[in-house]
Structure 1
Amino acid sequence: MDRRTACLNQADAFREKAIADPAHHDEWIDEAIKWLERAMEASRRVAVTIDAKDGWPVQDAAQEAAADAALPQRPERGG
């Protein structure tokens, strides 16, 4: 199992805890959010390979791939 999938599974487990334990719902949801953020980080660490053929502009394609992979960062939550 890859890191992203493992993080998503953890997030699911904490969501289920939130449903089962209404007294601590907010705490479990906060934990689920942390695991979802970790899953997003794991998805950003993907290797991109490009097969350059017929003078295809490799540098432009690499820059586009990097821009597509760059997702906005969510600010840290205090508390």
Structure 2
Amino acid sequence: MDRRTACLKQADAFREKAIADPAHHDQWIDEAIKWLELAMEASRRVAVTIEATEDWLLQDAAADALLSQRPEPNA
């Protein structure tokens, strides 16, 4: 289980406590909000990787070559 999912599950648990314990509802909701914020923070830290194949590198080089041949716009 990733960190974001774990934080969301913890927030759900505190929301359930808020429903079950009306006397401490605000306290449990505050805890749920903290865990939701941690889940959002974890979402922002996701690493994205790509695999660069030789074909992809050749296509990228061809695109760069085409762009370098474009005439400059008139100022």
> Is TM (by shorter chain) over 0.5?
yes
Give the greater-gyration-radius structure (CA): 2
User: Higher helix fraction: Structure 1 or Structure 2?
Assistant: 2
- Tell me if 1:22 matches 2:22: yes
Identity %: 84
- Tell me if 1:37 matches 2:37: yes
- Rounded to whole Å, the distance in 2 between the matches of 1:2 and 1:50 is 20
Give the CA RMSD over aligned residues: 1.8
- Rounded to whole Å, the distance in 2 between the matches of 1:22 and 1:13 is 15
Gaps of 5+ in 1: 58-79
Paired positions, count: 57
TM-score relative to the length of structure 2: 0.67
Shift of 1:50: 3.5
Gaps of 5+ in 2: 65-75
SS of structure 2 residue aligned to 1:16: helix
Runs of 4+ aligned residues of structure 1 deviating over 3 Å after TM superposition are none
Amino acid at match of 2:16: E
